[in-house]
Amino acid sequence: MKYRDIEILKLDSVSSTNEYLKELVKSGKCEPIIVIADKQTNGKGTGNRSFISDKGGIYLSILLKPFDASLITPMTAVAVSEAIEQISNINTQIKWVNDVYINSKKVCGILCEAVYDKVIEKPYIIVGIGVNLFMPQNGFNSQIKDIATSIYDYENIEIKQRFIDTLIEKFFDYLDNIDQKNFLEKYKNKNFLIGKRVTVLHNNIKIDGTAISIDDNCHLRVKFDDNTEKLFSSGEVSLKKI
Ligand code: BTN
C-alpha cells in the first residue's frame, strides 16, 4: 500500500514502530515510510516511559526526511484530533504538548524522535502516534485504566481503515504547509491546560503555577506563584494538572 508514493507497511506486532524505523534508518533507509502495527510489545512513551500498546489501538510511525521539525508534535496533535472528530463526531482536546484527550481521558500519545545519520547534519524525523481506537478485548491494562479512554468500544475493520486513511491525509496536508502554521489556532483553542493550575517538573524541581498561554512557536507560558513567568518548550518540562 502507498500514500502519495510513500510506502505503508502493516505489521501485526512489533516491539516499537519508532524503533523499527530507527533500525531502518541505521541500515541505510532514507525514503519516507509509514509503519503501522496492531500491537507493540515494547512501546515507547515520552520521558523514557513505556507506552502500553495492546491490540485494539493503532500504533503508527512516519519516517520523514530531515527538516526543521520543531512544530511537528503540535501539528500532529491537531491532525490526530481532527481525524478522531471527523470519523467519530466525538469532541477532543489537547494537553500540551503531545497528548489528545476525550472527556478528560487520554486517547492518544505522540512521540517524535530525531535520528542522526553519519552523513547528514539534520536528523531524520520519526513521528510516532499511538491511538486507542478500540477498547482492548479485556479492557485497559490496570496501570492506565483510570486515565485512558478509547474512541470506540468494539473493533471494526472498516472504521480502522477509515481512521488510518483520514489521519495520514490530515497529517500530510498540514505538513505540506507547516511553515504557515495552519494548525496553530486549533492547537491553541483545543489545549485544556490554559487557565489551569499546573505543577511543572523542570530540572528535577517541582514548581506550582498557572498555565496562561501558548505562543506562536507552541511554547507554553506558565505564571508561577511568585508572579514570575517562564516559557517552556516541549522537551523541558513534565506537566501535571493540579
Ligand atoms: C506518550 O504518550 O508518552 C507518547 C506515546 C507515543 C506512542 C507511539 S505508538 C507508535 C510509536 N511507537 C512507539 O514505541 N511509541 C510511539
Q: What is the pLDDT of residues 172-207, one digit of tens each?
A: 999 999 999 999 999 999 999 999 998 888 777 888
Mapped onto helix, strand or coil, the DSSP state of residue 12 is strand
CA distance 103 to 93: 8
The residue contributing the CA closest to ligand 1 atom 16 is 128
Q: Is the pLDDT of residue 40 over 90?
A: yes
Distance 10 CA to ligand 1 centre (A): 16
Q: What is the pLDDT of residues 77-114, one digit of tens each?
A: 999 999 999 999 999 999 999 999 999 999 999 999 99
**Ligand 1, from 39, 44, 94: best to mutate by most atoms within 8 Å of Cβ?**
44
Confidence category of residue 238, pLDDT binned at 50, 70, 90 = low
Q: Which residues of 70-107 are buried (b: 16+ CB within 10 A; e: fewer)?
A: ebbbbbbbbbbbbbbbebeeeebbbbbbbbbbbeeebb
- What pTM was computed for the model? 0.94
What percent of the chain shows pLDDT beyond 90?
77
What contacts 195, CB < 8 A, 6 or more positions away?
A: 210, 211, 212
Q: Which of 193, 195, 181 is nearest to 238 (CA)?
A: 193
Confidence category of residue 119, pLDDT binned at 50, 70, 90 = low
Ligand 1 contacts (CB < 6 A) are 16-18, 40, 43-46, 49, 51, 59-61, 99, 109-111, 128-130
Q: Is the pLDDT of residue 76 over 70?
A: yes
CB 141 within 8 A of CB 54: yes
Distance 225 CA to ligand 1 centre (A): 33
**Ligand 1, from 59, 97, 99, 133: best to mutate by most atoms within 8 Å of Cβ?**
59
Distance 127 CA to ligand 1 centre (A): 9
**What is the structure's pLDDT at 67?**
80
Other beta carbons less than 10 A from residue 63's beta carbon: 25
